[in-house]
Structure 1
Amino acid sequence: MTAPIDPRARIGHVHLRVADLDRALGFYCGVLGFALMQRYGTQAAFVSAGGYHHHIGLNTWDSAGGAPAPPGSTGLYHVAILYPTRAALADALSRLDAAGIPLTGASDHGVSEALYLDDPDRNGVELYRDRPESDWPRDEAGGLQMVTRRLDLAALRAEATLR
């Protein structure tokens, strides 16, 4: 048996194949609010939150003009973007509402609250915020007990600061 991974390891970025770079940038920068850090013509771009070199890479190297993966195929299920607060997640929902981007789901998992949607290339996207660990649901033995309940979108919308 091998030793476990160092607990400080993190996912540094995700790189997505897209059919149209400008369309993808319109979504990730124009709707979600990521900043464009660098662009390589019509082939690739790197976007970030907070000035990091990149959280999301977008490229058309093998996918320019391509179709999304068909249902039933393997690949990315979704990329999850962690928001620091409930108000920040509410602001993300306001951005989606303003852009007319529909949700594919919205769940309260006890440990987190999550919005689910597709980007323009039908890559799954989860926007979520974690609850403080002290608020996580536990069973009688103290074990973590994740749940899936409907997220109250009206209550979340009421917390938005972007109007």
Structure 2
Amino acid sequence: MTNIHPAAHIGMVALKVENLPLMSEFYQEIIGLDVKKQTETEIQLGNQEDEKILLRLQKVTPQKKSQSTTGLYHIAFLLPERKNLGDSLYHLLKVNYPLAGASDHGYSEAIYLTDPEGNGIEIYRDKPKEVWTIESDGRIEGITIEMDAEGVLGEATGNFRGMPSGTTVGHVHLTVADLAKTEDFYVELIGMSLKSTLQNSAKFIAAGDYHHHIGTNIWSGRHLPPLPEDMRGLNYFTIEVPSAEDTQAIALRLNDAEYPFEWRENDTTLAVTDPNGIHLLVKVEK
């Protein structure tokens, strides 16, 4: 099997939302993103100084959610430096927005919260790779302990101006129906590598030597149904690769496995749905 290019990464996340003005206000005022493009039914957001789109909010008129489904566990915004995490934490505390937690994972420090429509959010910074626990086989072991909040706040500038230049979607964490089938798809077909497993209930998968670009868990139960198309939540996410040859390599693996996919945007974007009914696009980074 040919692995995906080591520079592959998550590009952006698209969410189906019920209250577009409320969600837009939240991601601007609380998270610190800027509006890049806007229509009556969609808002695209990124950080202040970059043109790259990190988040799309797409208005839907949803049915009521009556049961747990597969979909987004959280979207994770990766900040360039620890001081940026300090600024975000200081801002969230200042506006008194409820936090769901703050953790040190060994390779990163992260704060967690939930948006007004129930989508999980992680805001984090990576520690230097020199302190990551990297095994000889390339696996990267994480931990979950309390984050040094005082230390993080101690590096804050006290001047929060939104998400800084260089902010990216570092990873997406998915609620899935079957861990094994999900691993097979992202490892054998997309070409990523398994980096760590947590008590047979979560797996973390990445391109190259990153700790994870895609987290997967079955904490809401096994064999969940997919999120209906008209229900708010995750619409799709993108994986960006350096060249068209990289998308063609993935297409070849999908073809060989007789796994359905389609080409979009003049055959430059590969659209595929994973075994959990989660949609993703693989496209060349611009």
TM-score per shorter chain, which class?
A: 0.7 to 0.9
Inter-partner Cα distance in structure 2 for 1:22 and 1:136: 40
Q: Which runs of 4+ in 1 moved over 4 A?
A: 138-143
**Partner of residue 98 from structure 2, selected from 75, 95, 102:** 102
Deviations 1:39-80 (A, max 9, x none): 112x110000132241100011344xx66x567322100000
Inter-partner Cα distance in structure 1 for 2:78 and 2:8: 16
Task: Indicate conservation of the 8 Å contact 1:47/1:55, yes or no.
Answer: yes
> Deviation at 1:98?
2.2
Match of 2:42 in 1: 44
Deviations 1:107-160 (A, max 9, x none): 101100011110111100000000010121357999643211111222222221
Q: TM-score, normalised by structure 1?
A: 0.86
> How many residues are treated as equivalent by the alignment?
158
**Structure 2: gaps spanning 5 or more residues:** 160-286
Q: What is the aligned-residue identity percentage?
A: 35
Instruction: Report the CA distance shift for 1:24/1:140 in structure 2 as closer, same or farther (over 3 A).
Output: same
Inter-partner Cα distance in structure 1 for 2:71 and 2:140: 29
Instruction: Report the CA distance shift for 1:140/1:14 in structure 2 as closer, same or farther (over 3 A).
Output: closer
Larger Rg: 2
Residue 31 (structure 2) pairs with residue 32 (structure 1)? yes
Of Structure 1 and Structure 2, the greater strand share is in: 2
Task: Indicate conservation of the 8 Å contact 2:42/2:56, yes or no.
Answer: yes
Inter-partner Cα distance in structure 2 for 1:60 and 1:81: 22
Inter-partner Cα distance in structure 1 for 2:27 and 2:85: 15
The root-mean-square deviation of aligned C-alpha atoms, in Å, is 2.3
**Structure 1: gaps spanning 5 or more residues:** none
Larger CA deviation: 125-134 vs 54-63: 54-63
**Partner of residue 162 from structure 1, selected from 141, 158, 169:** 158
Q: TM-score, normalised by structure 2?
A: 0.51
SS of 2:6's equivalent in the other structure is coil
Residue 19 (structure 2) pairs with residue 20 (structure 1)? yes
SS of 1:76's equivalent in the other structure is strand
Inter-partner Cα distance in structure 2 for 1:4 and 1:61: 36
Q: Higher RCO, 1 or 2 (CA under 8 Å, sep at least 6)? A: 2
